[in-house]
Homo-oligomer: A and B are copies of this chain.
Amino acid sequence: MTANDGALTQLRAWLAQRNLPSDGRLPAERELCELLGVSRGELRKALATLEDNGELWRHVGKGTFIGSRPVEEFSSVASIAEGSNPVEVMQARLLIEPMLAREAAINATNSHLDEMRRCVRIQREATTWRQYENADNRLHRTVAEASGNTVLTALFDQLNAVRRAVVWGRLRDTSNHPPENHHSFAQHDDIVIAISERDREAAYQAMYDHLSMVRKNLL
């Protein structure tokens, strides 16, 4: 037993008989050491013990809180994009979007399917590259939404935001004409057909094949 056990037991007793606020925050060190009648140094030793024990966590400027340290909130899109690159983004798309397509094959509603068909039609009729890209974004977004899982859809949105931020920093194809890449048309058709036929694995495979080609063209 060391000398700081006094402060530690006193702190534990105080915590036990107190109803802390809902956020689990306890008073600032300078107040708390007065309440307990111990010096700040002793109090900090006791707090350090509890923190090592995982019973509370502290952070400069925030305070001291009961419970386990919360995971840091996700970083901003900009900071993620800064530490990443098109290859990583493309790999993430290849892993996530086929999965979304598979779920969409189960849960897509008729309005989802109508929207997908509208997107592929607009793409075929597009006269500018921007129109084409807008329709492409909307198609992929609709597939994500059709998965029927709002969390997965939100994750897709974030991935998409990162993708835009990453390619933003790179050179862009300045040509204004729509792509002549007719493979893309057929692949988009395959995706929509597989989903509308409720063929899970075909939807997965169609999206995978499509993104594989996108990646190939990227390199």
Contact = CB atoms under 8 A, between A and B. Distances in A.
Contacts of A154: 74-75, 80, 158, 162
A96 interface: yes
Interface residues of A, number: 44
A202 interface: no
A155 B159 contact: yes
Contacts of A131: 53-54
Contacts of A72: 157
Contact of A55 (B74, B130, B157): B130
A9 interface: no
Contacts of A149: 88, 91-92
Contacts of A95: 99, 103, 152
Interface of A: 53-55, 67-75, 77, 80, 83-84, 88-89, 91-92, 95-96, 99, 103, 128, 130-131, 133-134, 137, 141, 149-152, 154-155, 157-162, 164
